[in-house]
Amino acid sequence: MNEPAQSLIRFLLSDIDGTLLRPDHSLSEANIEAIRQLRAAGIHFTLASSRPPRAMRQQIEALGIDLPTVAFNGGNIINPDGSLLSAHRIPQAAAMASLAMFEGQDCSVWVFADDQWLLRDLNGAYVEHEHHTLGYDPVLVLSFEPYLDRIDKIVAASADHELLKRLEAQLNPQIEGQALASRSQMYYLDVNAVDANKGTALVTLAEHLGLPLAQCAAIGDGGNDISMFRQAGLSIAMGQGEESVRSQANYITDSNLDDGLAHAIRRYLLPR
Please state, in angstroms and rounded to a whole number, the distance separating the CA atoms of residues 233 and 121. Answer: 43
CATH tag, 92-193: 3.30.1240.10
Give the pLDDT confidence of 141-200 residue by residue, as tens digits: 999 999 999 999 999 999 999 999 999 999 999 999 999 999 988 999 999 999 999 999
Domains in the chain: boundaries = 6-87+196-269, 92-193
- Three-state SS at 112: strand
Backbone angles phi, psi at 21, to 5 degrees: -100, 150
Give the pLDDT confidence of 235-265 residue by residue, as tens digits: 999 999 999 999 999 999 999 999 999 999 9
Give the containing element (helix H, strand E) for 118.
strand 116-119
Give the pLDDT of residue 1.
Answer: 41
| Cα dihedral 241, 253, 251, 38 in deg (nearest 10) | 120
pTM of the predicted protein model? 0.84
Q: Judge whether 268 and 6 are in contact, CB under 8 Å.
A: yes
Give the pLDDT of residue 7.
Answer: 57
CATH fold label, 6-87+196-269? Rossmann fold (3.40.50)
